[in-house]
Structure formats: C-alpha cells, structure tokens
Structure 1
Amino acid sequence: MIALAALDIAGTTIEEGSAVYRALHDAVRRHGSSADVADVARWMGADKRTAIRALLALDGDASAVEQTFVDFERLLAEAYEATPPVAMPGVLDAFAAFRERGARIALTTGFSTDVTEQLLERLGWTDGVVDAVVTTDDVPAGRPAPYMVHRAMERTGVTDVAQVLTAGDTVLDLQAGRNAGARFVVGVLSGGVPREVLEAAPHTHVVPSIADVPMLLDLLDTPAAIATV
C-alpha cells in the first residue's frame, strides 16, 4: 500500500523546458563563474542557493550568492513568462490514480517557495490538486538530504516510510528518496537525464514518465510481485 507519493516538480510533474537550468547558468556566468553546461547539470534537483554557492566557487565571488540567486529568480520568471510551463502528459491522471489508491500527493522541489508558488499558480495547481508542497525553504538542507520527503510525510500525516513512493528525474531526487527510506524510489526519464545515469543511482524502478508510475504500482500489486517485494 502506498500512502504518499512524493513527487519532484520540474522535469517530473511539470514541463518547463529546462528553463531553470538555463536561468541558473546565465545567472552564475553573469557573476563571474566560468561554469559550463556540464557543471550546472551536476546540480540538477539541488537547492538553488547551494548550487549557486558551488558554481560561484569555481571562479566567482562567493559573497555574491544572494544577488546571483535574485538574478536567477528574475531570469526564470522571464523565461516562464515567455514560455509558460505546462503539466507533464498524463500527470493529472496519475494524481487521480494515486488518490484512487488512497494515497496523498506531495510535491517536493529544489526551488524556493516564491518560485514554486508562481509556478503552481500558472498551472492552476493552487487549490486541492495536491495535498502538500515542500520547498528548500522548508528544510535545513535540500537534496540529497531526506528532509523534504520527511517534511512531506509530516504535512500529510504519513508516518511509515514503507508506505512512501518518491519519483524524480535527477540523480539527487533518487538519492533523496533512498536516504529518506522510501519503499519505492522511482526515476523518470521525462527530464532528459539518460537512463544509464538514473540506473546507476539508487532506485527501485526507472520508467519513461510519471504517467507510467500507476501502471508500475498495478504490476507490483500482483500476488507474485507482492511475494518478492
């Protein structure tokens, strides 16, 4: 039985065209970092202030972290204004399937609360679509620390990690799910990270998208599968 599905946002439940990583790259470059695309990719799924601090340390002024973060949020807002984010195909059906199983739904993200609220407002996900939203502002450390998953459990009243499923499109998402002790740690390929990269990280399953997770749970609920889980 799954009591909680704790799901990443960008690249997992919401398609935003990798705008977050372009904005992050542009912001740190403007503040003196020589970070390239590969450097930025290593921080996919992480708290953005943590990512900025590390990327500026390559060449830039570490004292500029907060100003860089402000620039990052501005660039991201401009990108979302130009190309509004949309729900991933099949995500609302997946939410419905989780609810049919009696599970609650939480979104977890490396975004700040301000960015997350703007993002969810653009999609109309501000009233009853999910049961909880946890951002890096809500916890002492972002991924791969387990705190966002555990805070999602707290906010939804779930106390048993054996009843938790996590899903995300980055290595840090999978590490956080493993560190949280979730029963199912699912990688999704919709964010563009290659299958071999996700499969090299801690996981229980890797599937094409969040739309495939309910079908995965159906298979896991068969008597033969239950006997082996």
Structure 2
Amino acid sequence: MIALAALDVAGTTVEEGSAVYRALHDAVARHGSSATVTDVARWMGADKRTAIRALLELGGDTSAVEKTFVDFERLLREAYDADPPVPMPGVLDAFAVLRGLGARIALTTGFSADVTGLLLERLGWQDGVVDAVVTTDDVPAGRPAPYMVFRAMERTGVTDVRQVLTVGDTVLDLEAGTNAGAGLVVGVLSGGVPRDVLEAAPHTHVVDSVADLPDVLDGVLVPTS
C-alpha cells in the first residue's frame, strides 16, 4: 500500500529544459567561479544555496552566496519567461493512478519557495493537483538528508514511511528516499542522468519516466536492487 508519493520537480515531474542548471552555471560564473557545466551537474537535486557555496568555494561567506542566489533566481525567471516549463509526459496520468490507489501526492524540490511558486504558477498547478509542496526553505538541510520526505509526510498526515514512494531523477533523490526509509525508491531517466549512475545509487527501481509508475505499482516492473 502506498499512502504517499513524494516526487521531485525538475527532470522528474516537470520538463524545464535544464534551465535551472544553465542559470546556476551562469550565476556562479558571474561571481568568479570557473566551474564547468559538468561541475554544476554534480549538484543536481541539491539545495541551490549549498550548491552555490560549494561551486564558489566560499566556505562561510553567506553574503556572497546570497548575492549569487539572487542572480540565479533572476536568470531562472528570465529562462522560464522565454521557455515556460511543462509537465513531463504521462505525469498527470500517473497522478490519477496514485489517487485511485488512495495515495496523497507531494512535490519535493531543491528549489527555493519563490522559484517553486513561479514554476507551479506557470504550470497551473497551484490548486488541487498535489496535496503538499516541500522546498528547501522548509527544512534544515536538503538532499541527501531525508527531511523533505518527512515534511511531506507531516503535511499529508502519513505516519508509516514504509508506505511512502519517492521518485527522482538524481542520485541525491535516491539517497534521500533511502535515508528516509521509504518503501519504494524510484529513479527516473527523464532528467538525463545515465542509467548506470542511478543504478549505482541505492534504489528499488530505475525506470524511464514517471509514466512508468503504474507498472511499478502493479508489480509489472520488479525491483532492481
């Protein structure tokens, strides 16, 4: 029985053309980082302030992190204005299957509340599509810490973590679901992380996309670990 599905946003339930990572790369570059796109990609799924601090090698310089973060948010808004995000194929059908099984649906994300609000507004997902939204502003630490999963449980009234399904497109997503003790920890390939990379991380299933969740829930796709 799945009581809660906690799903990542960008690359998992939402196609946003990797705008977040281009914006992050451009923002840190403007503040002196020599990080490559590959360096930035290693922070997929992480809290963006944490990523900025590491990419700029700033240690405890909070003011520089905040200035870079402001630039990151501005660049991301501009990207979304130019090319609005859209739902991943099959995601709304998967949501319907989950609801038919009696599960609640939460989104968890390494974005700030402001960016997440903008994203959901562009999608038209403000009301009724999901039961809870958890951002890194809501927890003491982002992935791979399990706190966003726990906060999603709290907000949806779910108390048994074994009845939680987590879904994400990055290694950090899989580590967070595993650290939380979720009953199903599913990696999806829709975010561009290679299969062998996701399969090397702790998980129960790795599938092509969220559209495959009904087969996971029906037992058609067997666990790979």
User: Does structure 1 residue 89 correspond to structure 2 residue 82?
Assistant: no
**Cα distance in structure 2, aligned partners of 1:62 and 1:164:** 35
**Cα distance in structure 2, aligned partners of 1:14 and 1:99:** 19
SS in structure 2 of the partner of residue 219 of structure 1: coil
Task: State the 1:126 CA deviation.
Answer: 0.3
* Residue deviations 1:178-229 (CA, integer Å, cap 9, x gap): 00000100000000000000000010000000010111111269xxx7xxx9
Show the counterpart of 1:55.
Answer: 55
Matches within 5 A, 1:21-32: 21-32=21-32
**Cα distance in structure 1, aligned partners of 2:62 and 2:140:** 20
Show the counterpart of 1:39.
Answer: 39
**Cα distance in structure 2, aligned partners of 1:7 and 1:42:** 20
Matches within 5 A, 1:183-198: 183-198=183-198
Runs of 4 or more consecutive aligned structure 1 residues displaced over 4 Å after TM superposition: none
What amino acid is the match of 2:37? V
Show the counterpart of 1:155.
Answer: 155
Any stretches of 5+ residues in structure 2 without a counterpart?
A: none
CA contact (8 A) 1:146 1:179 kept: yes
CA contact (8 A) 1:33 1:58 kept: no
CA contact (8 A) 1:162 1:182 kept: yes
Residues 129 and 91 of structure 1: is their aligned pair in 2 closer, same or farther, counting only changes over 3 Å? same
**Cα distance in structure 1, aligned partners of 2:124 and 2:37:** 31
Matches within 5 A, 1:1-229: 1-57=1-57, 63-219=63-219
* Residue deviations 1:103-161 (CA, integer Å, cap 9, x gap): 00000000000000010011100001000000000000000000000000000000001
**Cα distance in structure 1, aligned partners of 2:92 and 2:172:** 24
**Cα distance in structure 1, aligned partners of 2:147 and 2:120:** 21
What TM-score do the two structures reach when normalised by structure 2?
Answer: 0.96
* Alignment root-mean-square deviation, CA: 1.8
SS in structure 1 of the partner of residue 57 of structure 2: helix
How many pairs does the alignment contain? Answer: 223
Any stretches of 5+ residues in structure 1 without a counterpart?
A: none
Instruction: State percent identity of aligned pairs.
Output: 82
